[in-house]
Amino acid sequence: MTAIHSAPRYAPQENPNSWKTTVSVEKWRCIAYGFFWTMCLFALTMTKLFVVDYLKAGPDPDLPIEKQGCGPFNREDVREFGVGLGEGFNYTTQSHLIELFGFGNICTAWDYSPSRELTALYFPLFEYSLVIYLVLDIANTYLTRQRGEISEAFWNFSKTVGMINIALCICFRMIFVCIAYEEPAKHTAGFLGLQVALILVAIQNTLYVIMTGQSYPTVGLSSSTTAVLAKIYLFLLSCISAVKVAATVYIVLNGVGPAFYKKDSPIPGQCVGQIVDKIWMIFNAVLPMCIAFIRMKNEDPLTIEISMPTPTYEGATAAGKGENAPLTGTSTYN
């Protein structure tokens, strides 16, 4: 059987069998954090539109009595928290996470249907962009090692951490599978994985900046000043992350927040856990985004090239010669 196809019309390239592009590693980091925050905003919007009033109204009174305690309305039939079995509740003050942990973190925005399902559709934008960044960062660190700017030990640490982060990032999707009010420990385990990934990303990046002697002229930071700021950031990041991860592990193991999480903080109306959560988010999801933006403006991009051998089918030889290749022609496949 013989098929004849018109050769594609394209402007001849210097090497038509090679595709080359440049990509900024830190730009993809900015994109990933950007999608994380827009995902949070999207979830909050969906919750406000479709969840708050639904939870407040409670189950449909026309449902059989045995079904009115299903889903989010399957609360313990006690009055300590002010919500009983089959009763509606206030999303802002009586959510399941507030009952368990003493405060409602960002996860409450995608705990309830239909916000959970809609946010799960948006989530891959964050997941895939973060994975792309992690892969590019491993490549960038390898090239840095090839130039002799970092030690073999740090390269081994970076590639190991990079692979762990990719796995943890992918497993984060379990927060949409394990429902918070049914399996709080398993739901929190998914978030714990993301916490560890973001912490490791921040630590690895900060160590990279210190070890390579980075400077950022666009914001007036010399290499010495950058190193001092990086070490301060790394110390504070480690302190708050140790507290946050320890508390999250406690939740995973026990299904409830540690006692100190529910204690009142010096800030009126906010418990200790809420303050810890906000500080942790600043050091792991706000400042890293700002740092990535500064690095993006000062660092050289990677060059990625994909090539292939010159095709050997009839009619393709001329097209592989570059400037003298015809813009039209035929190719025959037998």
Q: What confidence score (pLDDT) does residue 204 get?
A: 95
Please state which of the ranges 33-47, 156-170, 303-317 shows the lowest mean pLDDT: 303-317
Taking residues 211-234, report their average pLDDT.
Answer: 93
Position of tokens 């480690």?
238
Section 140-150 average pLDDT = 94
Tens-digit pLDDT profile for residues 263-273: 988 988 889 99
Percent of the chain with pLDDT over 70: 88
What CA–CA distance (Å, rounded) separates 98 from 270? 12
By residue range, what is the domain housing residue 187? 23-49+107-298
56 within a domain of the structure (yes/no): no
Residue 265 has which token pair? 């903080």
Q: How far is CA 12 from the centre of its chain?
A: 40
Q: How confident is the model at residue 158 (pLDDT cuts 50, 70, 90)?
A: very high
Q: What average pLDDT does range 20-47 have in this prediction?
A: 95
Token pair in block for residue 194 = 């993301």
Backbone angles phi, psi at 305, to 5 degrees: -130, 130
Q: How many Cβ atoms sit within 10 Å of the Cβ of residue 298?
A: 14
Spatial distance between the Cα atoms of 15 and 307, rounded to a whole number of angstroms: 9
Is residue 96 domain-resident?
Answer: no
Is a pLDDT exceeding 50 seen at residue 333? no
pLDDT at 262: 87
279 vs 80 pLDDT, higher one: 279
pLDDT at residue 6, as a whole number: 41
Check residues 32 and 68 and name the one with the higher pLDDT.
Answer: 32
pLDDT surpasses 70 at 194: yes
SS (H, E, C) the chain: CCEEEECCCCCCCCCCCEEEEEECHHHHHHHHHHHHHHHHHHHHHHHHHHCHHHHHHCCCCCCCHHHCCCHHHCCCCCCCCCCCCCCCCCHHHHCHHHHHHCCCCHHHHHCCCCHHHHHHHHHHHHHHHHHHHHHHHHHHHHHHHHCCCCCHHHHHHHHHHHHHHHHHHHHCCHHHHCCCCCCHHHHHHHHHHHHHHHHHHHHHHHHHHHHHCCCEHHHCECHHHHHHHHHHHHHHHHHHHHHHHHHHHHHHHHCCCCHHHHCECCCCCCEHHHHHHHHHHHHHHHHHHHHHHHHHHHCCCEEEEEECCCCCCCCCCHHHHCCCCCCCCEEEEC
Model confidence over 202-219: pLDDT tens digits?
999 999 999 999 999 989
Look at residue 97 in the predicted model and tell me its pLDDT: 87
Is this structure's pTM higher than 0.85? no
Query: Does residue 222 lie in a domain region?
Result: yes
pLDDT at 184: 86
Provide the percentage of residues in the chain whose pLDDT is more than 90: 60
Mean pLDDT of the chain: 87
Q: What's the mean pLDDT in 190-204?
A: 93
In a domain, 263, yes or no: yes
Residue 286 lies in a domain: yes
| 52-76 tens-digit pLDDT | 999 999 998 888 887 888 889 998 7
pLDDT in tens, 84-108: 888 899 999 999 888 888 888 888 9
Q: Does any domain span residue 59?
A: no
Confidence class for position 115, pLDDT limits 50, 70, 90: very high
Give yes or no for residue 235 having a pLDDT over 60.
yes
Would you say residue 84 lies in a domain?
A: no
In the chain, the number of structural domains is: 1
Does any domain span residue 329? no
Question: In terms of pLDDT, which residue wins out, 225 or 314?
Answer: 225
Task: Give dist(CA 234, CA 240) in Å, integer.
Answer: 10
Number of C-beta neighbours around residue 279 at 10 A: 16
Token digits of residue 173? 């999707």
